[in-house]
Amino acid sequence: MPGYTERFTEVNQPTGELYPALKAATTHNGAWIPMSNHQRVVFLIMVGAMTSLSTLDFMVQQDDDGDGVSAKAITGKAITQLTEAGGDGNDLLAVEVRTEELDVSGGFEYVRGVLTVGTDTVYCAMLPLRFIPNYPPVATTGWTEIID
């Protein structure tokens, strides 16, 4: 558990992000994130403007070695589809995964976020943050600039 003197950037590590952009209708995969030294990861999905008829889906996948060959969805770790017609857009979503929710008996220790844009374009981004490191504090890598 982070203490008062630990910096946010020491105990929360960004990795596998998809930067804000107008994303075309296709699947956008984040990088595989090893979870062997962390207990949790949260995927923050930021959605801006959705064009006419666009849809957005998001799920978290797991894999045993990070090459994607054995990739499979983690049950219950997907959002309800966002639609332009439903008035979605300008939304902020969070999907959190604990390591015990992975298929650890099958050797699965990698996760990634998968954004799927359907029909048209969506302006969006995904920021995964690993936290609760096994050996805190973690390095302050992944951040462009840190100001205390």
What's the structural domain count of the chain? 1
- Continuous segment of H or E residues that includes residue 14: strand 12-14
Q: Is residue 138 part of a domain?
A: no
Confidence of residue 2 (pLDDT cuts 50, 70, 90): low
For residue 123, count other CB atoms closer than 10 A to its CB: 17
Tell if the pTM clears 0.85, that is, is over it. Answer: yes
Q: Is residue 5 part of a domain?
A: no
**How many Å separate Cα 145 from the centre of its chain?**
21
Q: Is residue 26 part of a domain?
A: yes
Q: Is residue 141 part of a domain?
A: no
Range(s) of the domain holding residue 128? 16-132
Q: Is residue 2 part of a domain?
A: no
Between CA 85 and CA 33 the distance in angstroms is 33
Q: Is residue 65 part of a domain?
A: yes
Taking 60 as the threshold, does the pLDDT of residue 107 lie above it? yes
Between CA 73 and CA 119 the distance in angstroms is 22
Taking 80 as the threshold, does the pLDDT of residue 26 lie above it? yes
- What are the residues whose beta carbons fall under 8 Å from the beta carbon of 79, sequence distance 6 or more? 45, 57, 58, 59, 93, 95
Say what percent of the chain tops pLDDT 70: 97
For 68, 93, 128, 134, 148, the CA distances from 100, given in Å and listed in that order, are 20, 22, 18, 14, 33
Q: Is residue 10 part of a domain?
A: no
CATH label of the domain that carries residue 125: 2.60.120.1110
